[in-house]
Amino acid sequence: SAAAEAAAEASAASAVSRTPEQAAAAAWAWWRSIGSPTRVLAPMVNQSELAFRLLARRHGAQLCYTPMLHAANFASDEVYRQDNFDPHPSDRPLVVQFCGDVPATLLAAARHVEARCDAVEINCGCPQGIARRGHYGAFLLDEPDLIVSMVSLLAS
């Protein structure tokens, strides 16, 4: 929505120089701009594709997440994007979740969806062995400086 875009632009423009109180106020403003959802469908491996999200919305979900998408594949492979991201006007607000560990690659992936979602999230919670091998998910928590660099670049 236009309100969500305006809130996101204002948030990004002041991300570097704002106080924690200003950052919190911007985050709450964004949350209100997407309707202050209380029923959220979290990302689920092999379950959060469009058909399931639309079904969940029919049963009350107000905010949905995509399944985890690999930022490197998404940034560089048109076929991967077409196979794994199918936006729909009824599927908003929507958060796209990426996994990765290279800030510039995450940004490149996010650029492909920025006009078709309401937020981008970096997966920092996946505990599976594949996340360890791929250096993403919960295994980034041991590297807070890397997480800060990814978030800072996406917010700028």
CA distance 151 to 60: 30
Report the pLDDT value the prediction gives residue 156, as an integer from 0 to 100: 85
Q: Confidence class of residue 7 from pLDDT cuts 50, 70 and 90?
A: very low
Give percent of the chain with pLDDT exceeding 70: 90
Q: Give the pLDDT score at 44.
A: 85
Interval 51-102: pLDDT, tens: 999 999 999 999 999 999 999 999 999 999 999 999 999 999 999 999 999 9
Q: Grade residue 4 by pLDDT with cuts at 50, 70 and 90.
A: very low
Question: Residues 64, 99, 117, 126: which is the catalytic one?
Answer: 126
> Is the pLDDT reported for residue 5 higher than 60?
no
What percent of the chain lies above the pLDDT cut of 90? 83
Give the pairing type, strands 63-65 and 69-70: unpaired
- The HSE-up count of residue 132 (CA atoms within 13 Å, CB side) is 3
24 vs 44, higher pLDDT: 24
Band of the pLDDT at 143, cuts 50, 70, 90?
very high
In the chain, which residue ranges form alpha helices assigned H by DSSP?
2-13, 20-33, 50-58, 71-76, 78-84, 103-113, 129-134, 144-155
pLDDT of res. 15: 54
124 has catalytic annotation: no
Give pLDDT, residue 8: 45
